[in-house]
Amino acid sequence: MTILEKIINSKIEEVKVLKKLYSIEDLEKRSLFQRKTESLKTRLELSRHGIIAEHKRKSPSKSVINNDIKLEEVISGYDTANVSGISVLTDKKYFGGNTNDLLIARELTKIPIIRKEFIIDEFQILEAKACGADVILLIAACLDEKQIKNLSEFAKSLNLEVLIEIHNNQELEKCLLNSVDIIGVNNRNLKTFEVDIENSINLSEIIPENFVKISESGISSAKEISILRKHGFKGFLIGETFMTEKDPGKEVLKMINEIG
């Protein structure tokens, strides 16, 4: 069983528990549910750097990344740097996050926030909306075409933008839908956990131009961003490069200044 399969199995059980803790009506009554969402797609199209900075405490491939710095410090630093978007991991078991992280982040910034989660159920999308997210992540590797269509259309009905993560051409074919706003190419091999930005470069030519393209994982320098921009990428999701530092916000500013 792959790590992704393990995560999805855990997520199925987790969602069952969540549905017992509170109802759809409970989520819809939350004040943030009525909030007008911000467009990540628009910010990426207008940005000169396209950096989407991520908050991530740990991962299956690297174990603990940074448990020392407070979430508030990270998000405030990203906000000061004026990143294009902020990604907040909410999976607890494998990444050390939770939905409270999302709520706190929303209080600290008006920048578009992605709920980075292993979404398999509409309930998680309602939860994302109720916690102040602007964008949801769908991972093509763990969803079939019908699931992607249904989940993405449901998200759009809530005025949430949809980011689809792919690793290869086969996954891309499932995602070419009007309900998808952004296609993200993950440079991490899910079998070996090795990262290579060549994966983004190789897939860039076959992603239709009507989708905003972002590159994810393994990006650590302004030079790599420059290379990827030449291949049509508008956004660059970066987590560990910033989170391994004592002051992630400072590192973001440094990279933005290097981009020029």
Catalytic residue among 87, 152, 186, 187: 186
Q: Which of 247, 228, 260 is nearest to 53 (CA)?
A: 247
* Neighbouring C-beta atoms of residue 99, cutoff 10 Å: 20
Catalytic residue among 14, 54, 127, 171: 54
Do strands 51-55 and 85-89 pair parallel, antiparallel, or not at all (unpaired)?
parallel
CB 69 within 8 A of CB 248: yes
Catalytic residue among 14, 127, 161, 216: 216
Whether 174 sits among the annotated catalytic residues: the reply is: no
Distance CA 194, CA 211 (A): 26
Whether 205 sits among the annotated catalytic residues: the reply is: no
Whether 204 sits among the annotated catalytic residues: the reply is: no
Catalytic residue among 41, 116, 213, 234: 116
Whether 56 sits among the annotated catalytic residues: the reply is: yes
Catalytic residue among 217, 224, 234, 240: 217
3-class DSSP assignment, residue 61:
coil
Whether 216 sits among the annotated catalytic residues: the reply is: yes
Backbone angles phi, psi at 166, to 5 degrees: -125, 160
Distance CA 70, CA 85 (A): 19
Do strands 58-59 and 63-64 pair parallel, antiparallel, or not at all (unpaired)?
antiparallel
Catalytic residue among 11, 14, 41, 56: 56
Angle at 83 between CA 121 and CA 103, to 5 degrees: 45
Catalytic residue among 165, 171, 224, 240: 165
Whether 82 sits among the annotated catalytic residues: the reply is: no
Instruction: State the DSSP string of 101-126.
Output: HHHHHHHH--S-EEEES---SHHHHH
Whether 54 sits among the annotated catalytic residues: the reply is: yes
Dihedral over alpha carbons 198, 203, 205, 206 (to 10 degrees): 170
As annotated, the active-site residues are 54, 56, 116, 165, 186, 216-217
